[in-house]
Amino acid sequence: MSIVDDKWLGKIYYGEYFVDVIFGSSNGMVPVQEGWFHHAREAQVLGLGVLVIDPTELIWSKAFIQKRFRHDGSDIANIILKQSSRIDWQRLVAYFDAHWEVLLSHLLIFRWIYPSERDAIPSWLLDELLERLNRQRELPPTAARICRGRMLSRSDYQNAVEVWGFLEAKGKCDNDQ
C-alpha cells in the first residue's frame, strides 16, 4: 500500500487497478475508529466479502468536508434520503457532541432539498437540536472572537484567523462510539 495523504488516504495497486484505503476524513477531523467496524455490514464487491461502513458513520465521516471545491453535503442528503431507517440517530448525535450545530445544518438543508421527505428525520432529533439552539441563543456571545471554520476548510477561513484577528478553534472529533 502506498500512503497518498497521511491524514486519510492510501492506495493499493494491482497492475492498472487500485483500491482507495480511507482511514480518516481528508481534513483530519474524523479518523476511522475501531467502533465503526462493530456497526459495519458485509457486502459483496467484485465477488469478495468486504465490510461496508454503516450510514451513521458515513454521515459522520463526511460532515466536516465543506471546502470551496469539495463539499459532501449532497452525499449526506442522499444518504439520509435512501438510508434513514438504517441510521442510528442517537449514535449520530453522540458523534457530533459539541459540534451538534454542524449536524443541525445538514438536517435543515436536507429538509430544504427534499421537502416531501421531511419525515426521514425523526421529530425528536430536530426538537432536541432546536431546543439546544434556543438555549444557546439566550447566552451572551463568547468574549473571544473565535472561528471554527477551519475545522471545515483550512484554506477557506484562513483570512479570518490570519488577517481578521479571530482565534482558531482547534479540536478533533474523536468520539469512539
Which residues, at least 6 apart from 137, have a Cβ–Cβ distance to it below 8 Å? none
What is the spatial distance between Cα 69 and Cα 153, in angstroms, rounded to a whole number? Answer: 10
* 9 pLDDT more than 90: no
Domain membership flag for residue 174? no
Question: Is residue 45 located within the same domain as residue 127?
Answer: yes
Q: Let me know if residue 99 belongs to a domain.
A: yes
pLDDT band at 98 (very low <50, low <70, confident <90, very high): very high
Alpha helix segments (H runs only) across the chain: 36-39, 55-62, 73-83, 89-96, 100-113, 123-137, 158-162
Residue 176 lies in a domain: no
Band of pLDDT at residue 93, cut at 50, 70 and 90: very high
Q: Indicate if the pLDDT at residue 33 is higher than 80.
A: yes
- With cut-offs at 50, 70 and 90, classify the pLDDT of residue 172: low
pLDDT at 177: 32
In this structure, the answer to whether residues 118 and 85 fall within a common structural domain is: yes
Mean pLDDT of 2-19: 87
Whether residue 164 sits in one domain with residue 104: no
The pLDDT score that the predictor gives to residue 49 is 93
The pTM (predicted TM-score) of the whole model is 0.85
pLDDT given for residue 137 in this prediction: 95
177 in a structural domain: no
Domain range enclosing 85 = 41-137
If asked whether residues 71 and 11 sit together in one domain, one would say no
Q: What are phi and psi of 36, to 5 degrees?
A: -60, -35
98 and 161 in a common domain = no
Q: Are 66 and 148 members of one domain?
A: no
Query: Rounded distance, CA 177 to CA 174, Å?
Result: 9
Amino acid 39: pLDDT: 93
Mean pLDDT of 161-173: 84
**How many domains are contained in the chain?**
3
Report the C-alpha gap between 177 and 175 in whole angstroms. 6
Q: Which residue has the higher pLDDT, 157 or 26?
A: 157
Residue 96, Cβ density class (10 Å: 0-12 exposed, 13-18 middle, ≥19 buried): buried
Q: 142: phi > 0 → left, psi -120 to 50 → alpha, else beta; which?
A: beta
Average pLDDT estimate for 128-154: 94
Q: Is the pLDDT of residue 173 over 50?
A: no
User: Does residue 114 fall inside a structural domain?
Assistant: yes
Among residues 68, 41, 70, 69, the alpha carbon closest in space to that of 55 is found at 41
Q: Is residue 34 very low, low, confident or very high in pLDDT (cuts 50, 70, 90)?
A: confident
Q: What is the pLDDT of residues 36-74, one digit of tens each?
A: 889 999 999 888 898 889 999 999 999 999 888 889 999
The C-alpha cell at 58 is 458515513
Residue 122 has pLDDT above 80, yes or no: yes
Would 14 be classed as within a structural domain?
yes
Are 159 and 120 part of one and the same domain?
no
